[in-house]
A and B are shown apart, each in its own frame.
Chain A
Amino acid sequence: MSVTRRDFIKKSATTVAVGLAVPPWLAKMVWADSVTSRALTPTGPAGNRSLVVIQLTGGNDGLNTVVPYADAAYHSARPGLAHADSSVLHLSNYVGLSPVMAGMKGLYDQGRLAIVQGVGYPNPNRSHFRSMEIWQTAEPEKMASEGWVGRYLDAIRTGRTSPLTGINIGNEASEAFTNAHAAVPSIQGLANFGVVFPRNPDGDARTAALKQVQLGDTNTPYGHFFQQTAQETYQSADQIAQGIKKYQSTVQYPKTAFGRSMQEVAMLVAANLGTRVYYISTGGFDTHAQQLRRHGQLWQDVSDTLAAFQADVEQMNAGDHVLTLAFSEFGRRVHENANGGTDHGTASEMFLLGKPVKGGLYGSYPSLTDLDHGDLKYSTDFRAVYATVLDRWLGADSEVVLGKRYEDLKFI
């Protein structure tokens, strides 16, 4: 999605390096929207549990990810795209994982992976932008101004929030974090986080002067507020710099952007900074053409990376503290198109990964013949997945965060 913007950001990141660059050590934040006053209290202790949310941007083709290989309708709808029965990594006598997903198959066999099938929401929207917003705000009916993660962070807030309660990895801020009070830093490249004046021969003297002018006396309006924020910035940067020194690992991640970013999440997990939610996006799932090759590359990357991440987390004995959730804004059409791809559709899968997960298949696979305008009918509302995570993992009251009670899916 947003091909122009993404491409441009990539382009300018290189173009700009010699001119007026905004170096990657800090990207944008997500900031506050005022919230209507209401009582929000956590209902139980979440301890040092954290959630990693992985956004698969572009609309993942669920049918070629968790493949209904035993369904004749699948093969007839996709003469060019269907995976052969024999190549699919069987999970049941009906579905199996795409052939490239050996890593996730291993996790499934260890009982570490729960797959919720047929996930969607009423009146599906096929716009990337709007549908992603629906997933991020957990509000399909109207435009919401708060993200579901943001509402959660607000619910567990006591006093001034630590700036590291939520961390966005990468430079695309997620609306999921938008809320009243928590400012969530975006981190792109941990090594340089918080480094000021990095390329300046005079860096140390200038940084010392910087601290003095930011933290020294001032009598301007908001002066104290700026001082406090600067103080927190330096503290966060120090905490991260110190914390990630604890990270030691023998795990090899795929040498991809997603692999590197997930390793940074693992470093932050090792740093144990009290972060409750990490949010990370990886794109390219908008496979309108040449899907077989591209979708294979994408899932090879995701599957291998998740296997590495899980191994890494368990190696550092944090397996009991980390839950990973992956979703995409919609699935794709049942029938392949004329370009060897698929167009925007509706229901798809969600993945939950971790030691606390009760592995297996959840929800029912949508019928490939009982369609709505050529698209799959969802059977599980994505908000039920959020609710289960909130109630069973994050120690929050899902009704407070989501505004309504949803089915408990019991995958944790």
Chain B
Amino acid sequence: MDQTYIDTAHLLRRAGFGAEPTAIRSAAQNGLSATTDALLHPERIPENLDDDATLARLTSLLPETKNGGTPTQAVKMWWTHRMIASAHPLQEKMTLFWHGHFTSKDGKMAGDLLYRQNQMLRKNALGNFRSLTLAVARDPEMLRYLNGNQNHKAQPNENFARELMELYTCGIGNYTEDDVKAGARAFSGWNLRGEDFTFNSNQHDNDPKTFMGKTGNWNGDDIVDILMALPATARRLCTQLFTYFAYPNPEPAVIDALVQTYFSSGYDIRAIMSQILHSQAFYSDKARLAVIKSPAQYVVGTIRLLGMDKAVELILSDITSANDMAANPAAIPAAGTTAPLAKGRRLGVLASLPLAMREMGQDLLAPPTVKGWDGGENWINTSTLLARINFADVISRSRQMFGSSFPSAIEFMQQHALTPEGWVDYLAETLGPLPITPSTRQTLISYIQSPDLPASTVVNVQFQPVRRKRAGRLKEDGPGGLEGRLRGVIPLLMATPEYQVC
């Protein structure tokens, strides 16, 4: 396997959610630099997704909320699909990054506001950090979440001002309690009217405030400007971005260079990201497999690596089409499908993806605290590791998901004249390429060739058509349960330490 392929796979995993081998090869042909630039410039590639329509349709299929608004669950499903399907993978990855940075959390009936916030984050994902922070400060969901809506002249609410400094910009140790108080006063009157931002001038404190040693009649924009210009803000943001995309504990010199770009570009996120993704550090040994996959990466990545994104697309187009599929069974497109599935069941397949992330410790739109997700080793514990394997197991047996890519593993092997060794190697390449150890490889081969199987290689095994007993689940038949064993290699590979990192 040539180095360019490995480098391209690395880039596509980090600056997105990974891709199938064919897509990696095609990107490798374009070259790393051109591929990186394409990722950095989503505006150059058309996107064919109708977000509002998808969300509305998903909402109509879910139980109605008390206030008739959008269920948060619909937003989670819409976003999960977007991560899988978008032509702008880096923009999606950065939207996820910003969601963990400028956290908000699903309160009661906050679906509509969370959707708007998510689109705002996406729009600014590769834009200017100052503009993004200002948009966050005016974001209705943020005003609700951190009580900006209750920030009045007579009784300033400090919640947003505190988090703005502690978590969003300069970080703890770089401000005082007096700065929090002054900051809160500067944001007083930044409230909501209905579900929209409004500047409530008679609730705004117009007296002079001393913030970070500077005195003036500051408003919220001034506070953001002062915070943007702090070296601590620059360092913190650059470190966070580098850690998220390249590797943890970066060398000070690496961050110094990014901080310089932060200031010289006027807080341009794209410029910082470009520098990270084009850097030698990004392709250094230290960066390889150095990031523990987030649950979103694990779920979305698996679907993309195994080519199941097409199945998701079909499910979504079916459940979001106005025509009820039950009325027109012939229109059901999923490969290998013989009987129509109820719309609710197909909706369930899509719903299970954010649910699986939640089981693994990343509940989209509901980070555990205002700090977001710590990531790294915190993703992995006894429960979440099992949840990953469980997802791997279930998805590899789903007729609608894995079955759409591989209606029959036996048939696939026959077509490609693959031995069990070849099947294991093929999957290890597709899921990474994964650098599994020889002993892991041997375990998987032995698993396929357990004693109850004929010693002959699989290509010589008489092919029997896969029968389906129950809707939704792939049949584990073939000689000695061969079909099931071949598919069983998938969850086993997905359980390896190698697959937990990217």
Residues of A at the B interface (CB closer than 8 Å) are 1-5, 7-9, 11-12, 15-16, 18-23, 25-34, 36, 127-130, 142-146, 163, 173, 175, 178, 183-186, 194, 196-197, 200-202, 205-206, 209-210, 212-214, 216-223, 225-227, 229-230, 232-233, 236
Contacts and interface: CB of A to CB of B under 8 A. Distances in A.
Contacts of B347: 15
A229 B360 CA distance: 14
Nearest to B498: A220
B394 interface: yes
Nearest to A3: B66
Contacts of B390: 22-23, 25-26, 196
Contact of B374 (A25, A31, A194, A227): A31
A294 B110 CA distance: 26
B378 A18 contact: no
A221 B501 contact: yes
B429 interface: no
28 contacts: A4-B111, A5-B72, A8-B73, A15-B344, A16-B349, A18-B470, A19-B400, A22-B359, A26-B359, A31-B381, A32-B378, A129-B107, A142-B159, A183-B383, A186-B383, A197-B393, A202-B481, A205-B450, A209-B443, A209-B492, A213-B440, A216-B443, A217-B440, A220-B289, A222-B292, A226-B500, A229-B382, A232-B382
B497 A214 contact: yes
Interface of B: 62-63, 65-66, 71-73, 105-109, 111, 146, 158-159, 162-163, 172, 288-290, 292, 344-349, 351-353, 355-356, 358-361, 363, 368-371, 373-374, 377-387, 389-391, 393-395, 397-398, 400-401, 435-437, 439-440, 443-444, 446-447, 450, 470-473, 476, 481, 484-485, 488, 491-493, 495-498, 500-501
Task: From A2, A3, A28, name the one whose CB has the most chain B CB atoms within 10 angstroms.
Answer: A28
A231 B159 CA distance: 42
B371 A145 contact: yes
A190 to B, nearest CB: 14
A222 B501 CA distance: 8
A194 B484 contact: no
Nearest to B395: A20
Given A4-B72, A142-B158, A196-B389, A178 B369 contact: yes
A233 B476 contact: no
Contact of B387 (A1, A22, A205, A225): A22
Contacts of B373: 31
B360 A28 contact: yes
A3 B292 CA distance: 33
Given A7-B63, A20-B348, A202-B481, A30 B496 contact: no
A197 B290 CA distance: 29
Given A12-B351, A29-B384, A233-B386, A19 B345 contact: yes
Contacts of A11: 63
Given A4-B111, A26-B383, A223 B476 contact: no
Task: From A4, A16, A206, A227, name the one whose CB has the most chain B CB atoms within 10 angstroms.
Answer: A4
A235 B360 CA distance: 19
B475 to A, nearest CB: 10
Given A16-B351, A19-B346, A19-B400, 20 more contacts: A1-B108, A5-B106, A12-B351, A12-B352, A15-B345, A18-B471, A18-B472, A26-B390, A28-B384, A31-B373, A33-B369, A143-B162, A183-B381, A183-B384, A194-B386, A197-B393, A213-B495, A217-B439, A221-B288, A222-B380
Contacts of B71: 4-5, 8
B336 to A, nearest CB: 15
A202 B476 contact: yes
